[in-house]
Amino acid sequence: MANEYPELVDKLILMGSAGLNGEITPALMPVLNYDFTKEGMIKLIKTLANDKFEITQEMVDYRWGNSVKPGTREAHGNTMGWVRKQGGLFYSEEYIARVKHKTLVVNGKDGLVVPLAMAYRFLELIENPWGYIVPHCGHWTMIEHPEDFSAAVTSFIKSH
């Protein structure tokens, strides 16, 4: 959106952002192969969160219930189909480097789906980046550390 319609974008916030993963890693398989069962949802959550994250039955039920809705299920299938076709979660580095907007890159230090190295690469490629790395955090910064995430995002929006 920022590249194709830059006039519609003021600033960006990338949270554990895909875009530079040029291969399908084993860490991505529970997401790609999600089978819409509660057991599959638990595997997916374990992939997205850090090892110490407490997975509650309420969370599993809520996320699973939303995932089996027809529109959501279809959207997941289409997105994962795109990832498989691409061979990963990526755009070319040249395309990403075209982003000129002020951009906050937020990443969990221990993320498996989008490793920390990808966040650093976004910071290198994007012209106006700010970075916020959250320790003891996997891919789900906004769920694993909601107060931290909200404070970083709010500060970025207000100050830039």
User: Count of CB atoms within 10 A of residue 88's CB?
Assistant: 15
Task: Give the pTM.
Answer: 0.88
| pLDDT for the residue numbered 68 | 95
Bridge partners, residue 90, by sequence: 19, 20
Task: Print pLDDT tens along the chain (160 aa).
Answer: 999 999 999 999 999 988 887 778 888 899 999 999 999 999 999 999 999 999 999 999 999 999 999 899 999 999 999 888 888 878 889 999 999 999 999 999 999 888 999 999 999 999 999 999 999 999 999 999 999 999 999 999 999 7
Query: At CB < 8 A and 24+ separation, what contacts does 78-84 make?
Result: 80/31, 80/32, 80/34, 83/24, 83/28, 83/32, 84/24, 84/32
Domain boundaries, the chain: 6-159
CATH of 6-159, one of 3.40.50.1820, 3.30.1370.60, 3.40.50.800, 4.10.220.20: 3.40.50.1820
| pLDDT for the residue numbered 37 | 97
Strand intervals (E) in the chain: 11-15, 20-21, 89-90, 102-108, 128-134
| CB contact at 8 A, 17 and 10 | no
d(CA 25, CA 99): 26
User: Count of CB atoms within 10 A of residue 41's CB?
Assistant: 24
Q: Which residue has the tokens 């490793």?
A: 115
